[in-house]
């Protein structure tokens, strides 16, 4: 009882202090208008324009928030206040280009404090040369050369998943089922965990972690962040044990240095011969689990929704996948070369990434005062870019609201206008990995099934990534 009261008092105290800080900051910004700052509204004290923003996210259209302000204030850059932070939102291809080209010069990557705390020794907490060093080590597992080794295993895991959770069912809820698939695939490819019980124990901790990783970083019992931090501790402890066992197995030549991400991180050094520490390995594996999970789950779910709504697109994807299947011996697994043949299917995924990008945007922090589009961006300000300031712009994408997979034929979209994976030195590290992950699933699912949506106009709010409000229940039929 006393502990509960104490926790409440501490929470209240922290809330008051944070409120006071934000009110003072925003009042200063409101009362001393600076004509050189980008135009825009800071909304209400404390909450800024967060509610307007969340409203458009719930409607599945965060782009409305952005485009509305681009029209009202300035199409190049505007200011707003979201989640207690004053932000300059850089817009359009020029804004994207500016930010992606000025990493480590004018801006650095910035993530909310909760993410930094839970992934302390990972890539998201470092900048400059240290970020380059860690990215290089991680990339040698995620780049096409390395990925070639893992396509057959992806196919095997996907076939097993479909035969256990889809085959023989009349109805399936796509989002939660795909959620299990992406986590299982990561467990197998990153740390070679195959035991379903072990995977579901980790999945439980991981769910709690995901719910609090982007939240107010108040670490007292009862808060989401507290639970997430306990879950992160449990996952890290497990990863530490697995890592120690693997190191011993590698020393005794009883494990392969290329068997998965973990082995790769244990045996790979940087250019100076320095290896990652155990804490860095554990935190970076957790980062990759985090960064790869909801993103691909959301994309695969949206692909399933669009394919049900667009039967002619489904038929063209099916034809492409059947041709690939026919070119193989019975039982032969997919290879890297097969993924390269899935051109139309990838165009379909690319179009869905344009219409419903899973990542709404990312943050930077100004490391010096600088000028953009005639406005001053003060040192310390948070800067935001979003794939959505360009993705629905009809001058860049004619009939922008329409699905059209042919946009990616030939030269494709104009530079810096199509950026679902970001750009520049901090471009998504899993861009190449996400492609086979999504396409291998698509290959296996269309080969077996057609499907109908059980809720035809199901809403797809962003929370924080697009996820159908009822989980996208579908009725399955054999594809041929």
* Interface with ligand HEM, residue 296, by CB under 6 A: yes
Q: With respect to ligand HEM, which residue has the nearer C-beta, 46 or 146?
A: 146
Cβ atoms of residues 426 and 103 within 8 Å: yes
Least distance (Å) between residue 252 CB and ligand HEM: 29
Least distance (Å) between residue 426 CB and ligand HEM: 4
Task: Tell me: cis bond preceding 432? Omega within 30 of 0 counts.
Answer: no
Least distance (Å) between residue 287 CB and ligand HEM: 5
Q: Tell me which of 87, 157, 299, 307 binds ligand HEM, using CB under 6 A.
A: 299
Least distance (Å) between residue 289 CB and ligand HEM: 8
* Interface with ligand HEM, residue 358, by CB under 6 A: yes
79: tokens are 């200011």
Least distance (Å) between residue 415 CB and ligand HEM: 16
Label residue 185 exposed, middle or buried (CB < 10 Å: 0-12, 13-18, 19+): buried
* Interface with ligand HEM, residue 217, by CB under 6 A: no
- Closest residue by Cα to residue 108 from 359, 380, 378, 372: 380
Query: Could you tell me the sign of the dihedral formed by the alpha carbons of 219, 224, 225, 229, in that order?
Result: positive
Least distance (Å) between residue 52 CB and ligand HEM: 23
Q: Using CA atoms, how far apart are residues 257 and 246, in angstroms rounded to an integer?
A: 10
* Interface with ligand HEM, residue 359, by CB under 6 A: yes
Q: In which order are the strands placed within the sheet that holds 171-173? A: 171-173, 473-478, 449-453
Helix (H, G, I), strand (E, B) or coil at 58: helix
Q: With respect to ligand HEM, which residue has the nearer C-beta, 397 or 433?
A: 433
Q: What is the dihedral of CA 438, 444, 450, 455, to 10 degrees?
A: -40
Restricting to residues 426-465, name those near ligand HEM by CB under 6 A. Answer: 426, 428-430, 433-434
Report the binding-site residues: 428
**202, 233, 243, 251, 268 from 237: Cα distances, Å:** 11, 6, 10, 21, 22
Q: With respect to ligand HEM, which residue has the nearer C-beta, 62 or 422?
A: 422
Q: Using CA atoms, how far apart are residues 123 and 116, in angstroms rounded to an integer?
A: 10
Residue pointed to by tokens 């396409």: 439
Q: Tell me which of 62, 212, 422, 461 binds ligand HEM, using CB under 6 A.
A: 422
* Interface with ligand HEM, residue 295, by CB under 6 A: yes
Report the binding-site residues for heme: 428
Least distance (Å) between residue 13 CB and ligand HEM: 33
Residue pointed to by tokens 């705390």: 117
Least distance (Å) between residue 401 CB and ligand HEM: 20
Q: With respect to ligand HEM, which residue has the nearer C-beta, 78 or 346?
A: 346
Least distance (Å) between residue 27 CB and ligand HEM: 31
**In the complex, residue closest to ligand HEM by CB:** 430
Q: With respect to ligand HEM, which residue has the nearer C-beta, 123 or 476?
A: 123
x/- site string to ligand HEM, residues 361 to 400, per CB under 6 A? Answer: -x--------------------------------------
Cβ neighbours of residue 125 under 8 Å, at least 6 residues apart? 111, 116, 119
Q: With respect to ligand HEM, which residue has the nearer C-beta, 34 or 277?
A: 277
**10, 106, 347 from 336: Cα distances, Å:** 55, 39, 17
x/- site string to ligand HEM, residues 225 to 244, per CB under 6 A? Answer: --------------------
Phi, psi at residue 85, to the nearest 5°? -115, 135
Least distance (Å) between residue 154 CB and ligand HEM: 12
Q: Tell me which of 420, 436, 466, 471 binds ligand HEM, using CB under 6 A.
A: 420
* Interface with ligand HEM, residue 300, by CB under 6 A: no
Angle at CA of residue 41, ends 36 and 45, nearest 5°: 115
H or E stretch at 80? strand 77-82
**244, 264, 274, 426, 431 from 268: Cα distances, Å:** 16, 6, 9, 21, 21
**How many CB atoms are closer than 10 A to CB 203?**
16
**How many CB atoms are closer than 10 A to CB 47?**
17
Q: Which stretch binds ligand HEM (CB under 6 A): 170-178, 213-221, 287-295, 307-315?
A: 287-295
- Closest residue by Cα to residue 282 from 73, 56, 119: 119
Q: Tell me which of 109, 191, 285, 307 binds ligand HEM, using CB under 6 A.
A: 109
Q: Using CA atoms, how far apart are residues 19 and 21, in angstroms rounded to an integer?
A: 5
Q: Using CA atoms, how far apart are residues 44 and 33, in angstroms rounded to an integer?
A: 16
Q: Using CA atoms, how far apart are residues 321 and 323, in angstroms rounded to an integer?
A: 5
Q: Tell me which of 133, 135, 201, 230 binds ligand HEM, using CB under 6 A.
A: 135
Q: With respect to ligand HEM, which residue has the nearer C-beta, 56 or 298?
A: 298
Phi, psi at residue 217, to the nearest 5°? -80, 60
Q: With respect to ligand HEM, which residue has the nearer C-beta, 130 or 167?
A: 130
Q: Tell me which of 147, 287, 302, 465 binds ligand HEM, using CB under 6 A.
A: 287
Q: Tell me which of 87, 187, 291, 339 binds ligand HEM, using CB under 6 A.
A: 291
Least distance (Å) between residue 4 CB and ligand HEM: 38
Binding residues for ligand HEM (CB under 6 A): 109, 123-124, 135, 142, 287-288, 291-292, 295-296, 299, 353, 358-359, 362, 420-422, 426, 428-430, 433-434
């Amino acid at each position: 009882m006393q502990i509960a009261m104490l926790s409440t008092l501490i929470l209240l105290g922290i809330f008051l202090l944070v409120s006071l800080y934000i009110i003072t900051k925003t009042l200063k910004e409101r009362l001393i208008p600076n004509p050189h700052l980008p135009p825009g509204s800071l909304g209400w004290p404390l909450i800024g324009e967060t509610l307007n923003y969340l409203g458009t996210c719930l409607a599945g259209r965060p782009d409305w928030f952005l485009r509305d302000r681009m029209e009202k204030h300035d199409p190049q850059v505007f200011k707003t206040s979201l989640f207690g932070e004053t932000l300059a939102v850089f817009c359009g291809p020029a804004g994207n280009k500016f930010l992606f080209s000025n990493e480590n010069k004018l801006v650095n990557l910035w993530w909310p404090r909760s993410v930094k705390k839970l992934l302390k020794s990972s890539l998201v907490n470092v900048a400059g040369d240290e970020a380059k060093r860690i990215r290089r080590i991680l990339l040698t597992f995620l780049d096409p050369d390395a990925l070639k080794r893992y396509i057959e295993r992806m196919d095997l895991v996907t076939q097993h998943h479909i035969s256990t959770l889809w085959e023989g069912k009349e109805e399936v809820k796509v989002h939660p089922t795909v959620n299990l698939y992406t986590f299982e695939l990561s467990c197998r490819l990153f740390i070679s965990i195959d035991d379903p019980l072990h995977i579901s124990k980790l999945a439980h901790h991981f769910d709690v972690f995901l719910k609090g990783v982007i939240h107010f970083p108040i670490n007292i019992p009862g808060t989401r962040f507290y639970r997430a931090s306990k879950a992160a501790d449990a996952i890290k402890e497990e990863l530490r044990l697995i890592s120690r066992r693997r190191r011993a197995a590698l020393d005794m030549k009883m494990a392969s240095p290329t068997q998965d991400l973990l082995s790769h991180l244990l045996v790979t050094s940087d250019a100076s011969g320095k290896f990652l520490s155990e804490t860095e390995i554990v935190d970076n594996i957790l980062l990759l689990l985090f960064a790869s999970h909801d993103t691909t789950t959301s994309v695969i779910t949206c692909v399933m929704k669009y394919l049900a709504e667009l039967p002619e697109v489904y038929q063209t994807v099916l034809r492409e996948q059947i041709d690939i299947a026919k070119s193989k011996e019975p039982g032969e697994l997919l290879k890297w070369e097969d993924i390269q043949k899935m051109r139309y299917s990838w165009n379909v995924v690319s179009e869905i990434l344009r219409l419903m990008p899973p990542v709404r945007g990312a943050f930077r922090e100004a490391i010096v005062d600088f000028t953009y589009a005639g406005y001053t961006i003060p040192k310390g300000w948070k800067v935001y870019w979003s794939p959505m300031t360009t993705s629905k712009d009809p001058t860049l994408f004619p009939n922008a609201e329409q699905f059209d997979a042919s946009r990616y034929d030939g030269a494709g979209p104009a530079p810096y206008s199509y950026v679902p994976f970001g750009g520049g030195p901090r471009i998504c590290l899993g861009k190449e990995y996400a492609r086979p992950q999504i396409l291998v699933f698509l290959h296996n699912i269309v080969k077996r099934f057609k499907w109908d949506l059980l809720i035809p106009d199901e809403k797809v709010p962003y929370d924080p990534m697009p996820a159908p409000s009822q989980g996208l229940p579908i009725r399955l039929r054999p594809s041929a």
